[in-house]
Amino acid sequence: MNKNCDESIQAVKEDIRQKYDKFAPWYDLVEGIPDFLGIRKLRRNLLQRASGNVLEIAVGTGKNLRHYPGNCHITAIDLSPAMLEIARKRASHLGLNITFMIMDAEALDIPDQSFDTVVSSLTLCTFPDPVAALREMARVCRVDGRILLLEHGRSDREWLGRWQDRKADRHAEKLGCCWNREPLDFVHHAGLKPVSTRRCFFGIFHVLEATPS
Ligand SMILES: C[S@@+](CC[C@H](N)C(=O)[O-])C[C@H]1O[C@@H](n2cnc3c(N)ncnc32)[C@H](O)[C@@H]1O
């Protein structure tokens, strides 16, 4: 990658970090609405499949933490110190012993095949290079491990997808969330092997389990 391109990607990431640092105190309040409408149930069902040493990528304020089975040993990373601070408080409130680290999902400072389960939710919309992040998830996951994803993207109902397309730039300005992406395409491009996929909420949300094949 040439130097200018690398610098501009770093600038985009810095912008995302600043946005989430500012938004952190409001995140749980705003996300409480989709959680109430059904996303919490999707989180709970997906995370029941986690086991062993778990890495959660871009953990945010730790909304998934309460849903992990008790036998999981969790490490969680995020780019935003303010989001991580809330996750830390949540973990302590829940009595969970979790290792938190500030790290870029697209360049994990973690050895290959370190985790039994890698989890990420509502993140591929935000990463500048979601395929790079998925490749990193695959790299740090054991070959017989699981990658669990809960993502949102462009609806498969054309009328809704077109509406998302029209509003996408405006929406992305707020938190860098590109809501008309195609998470399944990223999974395939990254070379992950889907084991199960489910689409819900007007085809916007994806619940996915993959292996790092
Ligand atoms: C929409 S929030 C999702 C938070 C959480 N996973 C959830 O389900 O509520 C996106 C998160 O991705 C983090 N993030 C964005 N870019 C990142 C990157 N390159 N590396 C690590 N975390 C990143 C943000 O700081 C934010 O916490």
26-37 residues labelled b (16+ CB within 10 A) or e (exposed) = ebeeebeeeeee
Q: How far is the CA of 195 from the centre of ligand 1 (A)?
A: 24
Q: Is the CB of 128 under 6 A from ligand 1?
A: no
Q: How far is the CA of 79 from the centre of ligand 1 (A)?
A: 7
39, HSE (Cβ side, Cα atoms, 13 Å): 19
Share of the chain above pLDDT 70, in %: 98
Q: Is the CB of 151 under 6 A from ligand 1?
A: no
- Give residue 2's pLDDT: 61
Q: Rounded to whole angstroms, how far apart are CA atoms 179 and 201?
A: 14
Dihedral angle computed from the Cα positions of residues 42, 171, 102 and 185, in that order, rounded to the nearest 10 degrees: 60
Tokens 């400072």 map to which residue?
109
pLDDT single digits (tens) 171-206: 999 889 999 999 999 999 999 999 999 999 999 999
Q: Rounded to whole angstroms, how far apart are CA atoms 117 and 20?
A: 25
pLDDT single digits (tens) 141-154: 999 999 999 999 99
Mean pLDDT over 108-125 rounds to: 98
Band (pLDDT 50/70/90 cuts) for residue 213 is confident
Domain 13-211 CATH superfamily:
Vaccinia Virus protein VP39 (3.40.50.150)
Residues 6+ apart with CB under 8 A from 62: 76, 86, 87, 88, 90, 91
Q: How far is the CA of 172 from the centre of ligand 1 (A)?
A: 14
- Domain ranges in the chain are 13-211
Q: Rounded to whole angstroms, how far apart are CA atoms 130 and 206?
A: 15
Residue 18 buriedness (CB in 10 A; 0-12 / 13-18 / 19+) = middle
Residue with the smallest CA separation from ligand 1 atom 16 is 127
Report whether 192 contacts 211 (CB < 8 A).
yes
The string of DSSP letters for 111-176 reads -TT-EEEEEEES-TTT-SSHHHHHHHHHHHEEEEEEEEEEEE---SSHHHHHHHHHHHHHHHHHHS
Average pLDDT of the chain, as a whole number: 96
Q: How far is the CA of 75 from the centre of ligand 1 (A)?
A: 15
Q: Is the CB of 83 under 6 A from ligand 1?
A: yes
Q: How far is the CA of 83 from the centre of ligand 1 (A)?
A: 8
pLDDT single digits (tens) 53-108: 999 999 999 999 999 999 999 999 999 999 999 999 999 999 999 999 999 999 99
Secondary structure class of 94 (helix, strand, coil): helix
At 169, list the tokens.
């730039």
Tokens 């059904």 map to which residue?
38
Sign of CA dihedral 32, 49, 204, 106: positive
> What atom in ligand 1 is closest to the CA of residue 105?
20
Neighbours of 12 (CB within 10 A): 14
